[in-house]
Chains A and B, each alone.
Chain A
Amino acid sequence: MAQLNRARIDSVAEVAGRQDPLGMPLVVSRDLDVTFQTKKGRIEAVKGLSLNVGDGEFVSILGPSGCGKSTLLRVAAGLLKPSGGALSVGGETVTGPRSDVGVVFQKPALLPWKTVLDNVTLPVRSQGLNRKAGAERARRLLDMVGLAQFADSYPAELSGGMQQRVGIVRGLVNDPKVLLMDEPFSALDAMTRETMMDDLQRIWTETRKTVMFITHSIPEAVYLSDRVIVLSPRPARLVEDLTIDLPRPRTMDTMSEARFTDYTRHLRGIFSHLDK
């Protein structure tokens, strides 16, 4: 428990300058502000948010609903311009969508009129990359998530979990450095979620992407991550930056280990404070 408390102190005091143990930070957010102008007035979604994600690191982001998690992710994806501060990937400030950043959305967002393979290779076509190489990579990735024989099927012929796997493969098809995931499993049932968690862990182990993973589920975050970041209610600020020190590969047994439950209990405690 002492270790956890120290992590908490670290996070508040020196996260901005913190050097990641796994390498140079690949994603760096500095004093990020995002303000929306609406008819009812200004909404501050993110305020002075500083955090970083190391190269090859799997970082989950937890926070109450509506706190600004998706907003943060959209800035990282180049879909939204921040109103203050900056977010950089690989040392370059993000100003628009980039080919070295892949995005996986909450809904799979597949095109019903395209086959699985054509859906997955949309980023390849869009960025004018070699289609043959792209299709080969796509088939390899589909094979990795157990969908090899569905390459020529249409999305309507797949289950929800399979569709979300197609969405993940599409996010990976350009071999990005960073994979951004916005609650990719939230629409799935509990059983499917668990298999998807294992699939994602396997994909991550095999590809070693840097992952920013937004979720509402504390166990999911602890299970998958090297670090878990907790954001405050709107406007999003950083309230916790917790390193998860559990051996990999993690299995369903990991979830019943004492250290796992320590982490989840600790995070739950933070959440109950946030609500007050």
Chain B
Amino acid sequence: MKEKLTGALYPLITFGAILALWLVAVYVWDVPSYVLPKPLAVLGALKTGYIDGLFWHHFFYTLSSTAMGYIIGCVAAIFVGAIVSEWRIAERLINPLVIALQSMPKVALAPLILVWFGFDQTSKVIMVVLVCFFPVFVNTVVGLKQTPADLLEMARAANTGRWRTFWEIRFPSAAGHIFAGLQIAIVLSLIGAVVAEFVSSSEGLGYLINASALTMEVNVMFAALVSLAAMGVIGTQIVRFAHSKLVFWEGSLAATVQE
């Protein structure tokens, strides 16, 4: 319990320091409010946004694009990664494409995707799918390839078929790597959604930021940013929780005993 309290203390100190700096900037150095809004103004924007209801629509628009794209992208990545690591031919066919696309900044594709898929939510979802796919795919392949040789030899000696070897040995053995990819994909998926909204959208938190830049409503921009940060933090925590529950054997035993 004491551990947990001190654990929570450090982030509080950090945020307290940032808030103090912010207050100093606004009230002591007199940074103009069209550059840096007062903390209370941001709170006010959040309050009117979420209580009067204007933000909710944008929030859910971004959330649903992100969540849908994330789920589709990650499932596809794990599936294709499994196929690539199981069949050499698939690896040879798919690898050149992966290498070519992997080194390209995916967000640069946003305008093209809008042209191809229209300006509604589909194009945002596809952008997120694209951004999520690669880290999860690469981690899946690496994880599956790193299955310890002694486990595979043991399975072979026991006559374990390919399908069972995959489900009972290779996939669980790769799970830790896959979750690391899923973690990265959370952050990237938000980037993908916001960039797609920047390029062209009339909805979503990305649109809200863009629109309030034009009208110089910096407090609304900050409120939207806070909302995005919250989304990212909550998403990361969900994946982290799932990781520790599903891949329970990788968390060190000592740590669980301590708690």
Name A residues whose Cβ lies closer than 8 Å to a Cβ of B: 77-79, 97-99, 103, 105, 107, 109, 111-114, 122-123, 125-127, 154, 156-157, 170
Contacts and interface: CB of A to CB of B under 8 A. Distances in A.
A123 B249 contact: no
A122 B168 contact: yes
Contacts of A127: 158-159
Contact of B154 (A109, A112, A113): A109
B57 interface: no
A99 B156 contact: no
B151 interface: yes
26 contacts: A78-B157, A79-B156, A79-B157, A103-B158, A105-B150, A105-B153, A107-B150, A109-B153, A111-B151, A111-B168, A112-B250, A113-B172, A113-B248, A113-B249, A114-B168, A122-B155, A122-B158, A122-B168, A125-B160, A125-B168, A126-B158, A126-B161, A127-B159, A154-B249, A156-B249, A156-B253
Nearest 6 Cβ contacts at the A-B interface: A112-B249, A126-B160, A109-B154, A123-B158, A103-B157, A113-B172
B164 interface: yes
Chain B facing A: main interface SS: helix
Interface of B: 148, 150-151, 153-161, 164, 168-169, 172, 175, 247-250, 253
A127 B158 CA distance: 8
Given A122-B158, A123-B159, A125-B160, 20 more contacts: A77-B157, A79-B153, A97-B159, A105-B154, A109-B150, A109-B153, A111-B151, A111-B168, A111-B169, A112-B250, A113-B172, A114-B168, A122-B168, A123-B160, A125-B164, A125-B168, A126-B159, A126-B161, A127-B158, A157-B253
B157 A97 contact: yes
B159 A109 contact: no
Given A79-B153, A105-B153, A111-B151, A122 B160 contact: yes
Contacts of A123: 158-160
Contacts of A157: 253
With most chain B CB atoms within 10 A of its CB, the pick from A78, A113, A156 is A113
B155 A126 contact: yes
Contact of B156 (A97, A107, A113): A97
B163 to A, nearest CB: 10
A113 B248 CA distance: 8
Given A79-B153, A111-B151, A97 B158 contact: yes
Contacts of B155: 122, 126
A126 B152 CA distance: 13
A254 to B, nearest CB: 32
A256 to B, nearest CB: 37
Contacts of A111: 151, 168-169, 172
A77 B168 CA distance: 21
Nearest to B253: A156
Contacts of A126: 155, 158-161, 164
Nearest to A174: B158
Contacts of A170: 158
Contacts of B248: 113
With most chain A CB atoms within 10 A of its CB, the pick from B154, B159, B250, B253 is B154
